Structure 1
Amino acid sequence: MQDNALQLRKVNVIRYVTPLREGGSLPAIAEADDGFLYVLKFRGAGQGLKALIAELLGGEMARAVGLKIPEIVFAQLDEAFGRTEGDEEIQDLLRASEGLNLGLHYLSGSITYDPTVTVIESLLASKIVWLDCLLTNVDRTARNTNMLLWHQELWLIDHGAALYFHHSWDNWAEQAIRPFAQVKDHVLLPQAADLAAVDAQYKAILTPARVRTIVNTIPDEWLTGGPQTEPPEVLREVYFQFITQRIAHSEIFVNAAAHARQTLI
């Protein structure tokens, strides 16, 4: 992690409470040494470290533009943590996740956003659609909205499927300026009538300096645990260039989203 980075809190996980089995990567509710509960995302699960990076960057970029995101923390898991876990699958997951993981503050009492029950106003819907187009987040559909209602406000969760370019680094520069074809399946696209206004607003907020600060928050150990052999600073630069190039050419994904919306309404 670089000097000009966000100062996220670091907690130590002290108790595994319960798995959240609706998630494919077996996230869990866990208690940390600060007394709070967190939804813990494990480095040893599913897409592993890349999902944690996407979760971190997606969540903090959403926060930067003013959307509601649970607090993100770095969550340390020591080697003794999983020894008393009776479920063999979970024990294997905990052993594979020793070290630095990611936690999101648990929103106790929240309910899953249901588009058939609650209609989101156009400006907020447009803000979320714009951000997901930027992040190439494929996981905000009617089947899996990844949004919660908590204290009568809409909160975004689970950005682990975003930034899918990093699963194949070879053509990241080309992918940076592509439209986001999967926006046609976005649960909020029908309400997103203010994309042009949001585009101007969010481009002014997400300056290269702000993006750099967020990207610099990625821990070194999350960048050195995969198949890439480049040093962390080189990989951070790819994330920075990918995101800033998408912002600079945002009219590509905004126009594609607006066109996809017209086919739905």
Structure 2
Amino acid sequence: MTSISPDLRTVRVTRYVTPLREGGSLPAIAEADDGFLYVLKFRGAGQGRKALIAEIIGGELARTVGLKMPELVFAELDAAFGRSEPDEEIQDLLKASVGLNLGLHYLSGAITFDPAVTMVDAQLASRIVWLDALLLNVDRTARNTNMLIWHKELWLIDHGAALYFHHAWQNWQEYVAKPFVQIKDHVLLPQAAHLAEVDAEMRTLLTAEVISAIVAAIPDDWLNQEQEEADASAMREVYAQFLNRRISNSEIFVHEAQTARHGLI
């Protein structure tokens, strides 16, 4: 199989439009020099670079397996950008985020996915549940679905809370074979009736070459400060090993998801 290399464009932020006051990370809608609007995720906010790394890995894995994801771009923020911002909290955030940030193409007119309104077919639900179990994504619940309906299609957003193993690097190997019990709270779990079938498909699609190409897209300066004793290439290797080993042991998290689903239906 030909390796897939995510070709993320780089844009320069030209206008801060409005904050999205959801959670503690204060993402914002911003305009870039290509004329498009983006939901901007800041390196200086909340979990900082780690959230941006999770966004790239989660988003590009989703795209690789055919799920709908807004385009991801690197967003360059100039040092002078926040000087005229009157809100001190936002000004501090902008100052702390000078350099390369991450943007998701803004889906104008999209509405938040509501499981009471929109039924997702079993195949699609199973693919999303499988991917979130792989990524340890705790943030796709009924309370916060992190999915949008745009042009009558389901789009995934916000993988920043995934891959939480990277908040405790010393024990990352312990998470490889963990079943991810939080999958019981996944908003699409009741519809995920084809997990075994999807498991075989996903393992075929997500090859070591694909994983390597995706982690290669992570900028060096998002990685270099994560561990004093490790450089960017070493950190990329940890992400690649974690994902490859977890995919090799996918029967563990698939079984956990199936068991949790049977308890719901």
- Shorter-chain TM-score bucket reads over 0.9
Shift of 1:194: 0.3
In 2, the alpha carbon distance for the partners of 1:116 and 1:58 equals 26
Q: What residue ranges of structure 1 are gaps of 5+ in the alignment? A: none
Report if the CA contact (8 A) 1:49-1:225 is conserved.
no
Task: Name the structure 1 match of 2:220.
Answer: 220
* Paired residue type of 1:33: D
In 1, the alpha carbon distance for the partners of 2:5 and 2:217 equals 5
Task: Name the structure 1 match of 2:80.
Answer: 80
Shift of 1:227: 4.4
What does residue range 29-40 of structure 1 map to in structure 2 within 5 Å?
Answer: 29-40=29-40
Shift of 1:172: 1.0
CA offset digits 1:113-165 (Å, max 9, x no partner): 00111111111000000000000000000000000000000000000000000
Task: Name the structure 1 match of 2:48.
Answer: 48
SS of the equivalent of 2:12 reads strand
* Paired residue type of 2:61: M
In 2, the alpha carbon distance for the partners of 1:141 and 1:191 equals 13
* Paired residue type of 2:144: N
Report if the CA contact (8 A) 2:136-2:162 is conserved.
yes
Return the TM-score normalized by structure 2: 0.97
What does residue range 64-103 of structure 1 map to in structure 2 within 5 Å?
Answer: 64-103=64-103
What does residue range 1-265 of structure 1 map to in structure 2 within 5 Å?
Answer: 5-265=5-265
CA offset digits 1:199-244 (Å, max 9, x no partner): 0011000000011000111100100133443110000000000000
Report if the CA contact (8 A) 1:5-1:215 is conserved.
no
Alpha-carbon RMSD across the aligned residues, in angstroms, is 0.9
Question: Number of residues paired by the alignment?
Answer: 262
CA offset digits 1:19-76 (Å, max 9, x no partner): 0002320000000000000000000000000000000100000000000000000000
Return the TM-score normalized by structure 1: 0.97
In 1, the alpha carbon distance for the partners of 2:184 and 2:113 equals 19
